[in-house]
Chain A
Amino acid sequence: MSELSEDILATAAAWRAAGEDVALATVVQTWGSSPRPPGSRLAMTASGKLAGSVSGGCIEGAVADAARQTMASGTPQVLDFGVTDERAWEVGLACGGKVKVFVEKLA
């Protein structure tokens, strides 16, 4: 499950060392059909760089929006996406599953 996750962490650490604001998003729970298992990571910078994934691409945009808030505030967030969540319809979780994502700043 941790395939190449060290690369994502190393990438995040390198971005941070270069002075960028960095956030990490991690899939913590899934229900039903969802493309990425718990533990999958997405690293992001305030400048828009991305490494890894937390879905097949359907929620990354919304996660990046939340990550920008977390980078600014330093406060972590838990995001729920799923068929019962209006926001998921907005961002289009086409797989029909549900996924919970933890977003934190790399301090």
Chain B
Amino acid sequence: MKADLLARLQAAQAAKQPVALVTRLTDGLQLLWPQDEAPAPLVEAARTALQEDAAQNVEYEGAAWFVHPHNPPLRLIIVGAVHIAQALVPMAQPLGFAVTVVDPRRAWATADRFPGITLIHEWTDDAMAQLAPDSRTAVVTLTHDPKLDDPALDVSLKSAAFYIGALGSRRTHAKRLERLAALGHPPEALALIKSPVGLDIAAVTAAEIGLSIIAEIVAVRRGAALGTRARTPVAA
């Protein structure tokens, strides 16, 4: 790899631009798509690689090519700068998530409690609208306060977020579903909310709950059966 191509690849990553590194394996010729022009079959492979976040192998003009997607990091948006959030953040980062914590309560969302993390102090619906969750974003609400959690869930349910989780007991969640239904969300959308949040590992401490949440997010992202488990029907 040439130094200037590596520099361009790093610059694209720093700017959070999705790029595909396309390599002819026979001689190491490389280009970076979409910055560099490429023949149609390689462009198609690059699109697929980025969309599916999976490397592609292509034969083109008698040579083997490797198409290596470099997508921006996954995002985890945590609503509620609470103790569980403090436990969750350092687990999510090495798994490749860029973490943002949203909490209008400035006493909670402080740089002391969340060193190096993007903190947003706006009201949760405004914050979520700005953050615009996409298909590479997970959202988890942890405030326990409907005034803060509900607007965030409302925005998230209208987004392409691949994971939406909400902390709270079954009773709390049943009431939450009623409120969100009243906002016009159909039952099939509401069924996507993971609550009780996290894999059932009988978590007790904040760290254990953080672990169960991040494990569930990974399970959903990877399509594991654990991530699609049916929830116990909520009693009315």
Q: Which residues of A contact B (CB under 8 A)?
A: 1-6, 9-10, 12-13, 16, 24, 26, 28-29, 37-39, 75-76, 78, 102, 104-107
Min distance, Cβ B136 to any Cβ of chain A, angstroms = 11
**Which of A5, A16, A107 is the most central at the interface, judged by chain B CB atoms within 10 Å of its CB?**
A107
Q: Are B96 and A2 in contact (CB under 8 A)?
A: yes
Determine the distance from Cα of A16 to Cα of B6 in the docked complex, in whole angstroms: 11
Which B residues lie at the A interface, using CB under 8 A?
1-3, 6-7, 9-10, 13, 23, 25, 27-28, 53-55, 57, 64, 66, 68-71, 94-96
Instruction: Establish whether residues B25 and A9, one from each chain, have CB atoms under 8 Å apart when the complex forms.
Output: no
A79 to chain B, nearest CB (A): 11
List 19 A-B pairs, Cβ < 8 Å. Answer: A1-B53, A2-B69, A2-B70, A2-B96, A3-B96, A6-B70, A9-B9, A13-B3, A13-B7, A38-B57, A38-B66, A39-B55, A76-B27, A78-B64, A102-B25, A106-B1, A106-B3, A107-B2, A107-B3
> Given A3-B95, A6-B10, A76-B27, 8 other A-B contacts at CB below 8 A?
A4-B96, A5-B70, A9-B9, A16-B3, A39-B55, A76-B25, A78-B25, A78-B64
Contacts of B13 in A (CB 8 A): 6, 9
**Which residues of A have CB within 8 Å of B3?**
13, 16, 106-107
Q: Give complex CA distance A71, B132 in Å.
A: 44
| A102 in contact with B6 given A1-B54, A6-B13, A28-B57 (CB within 8 Å) | no
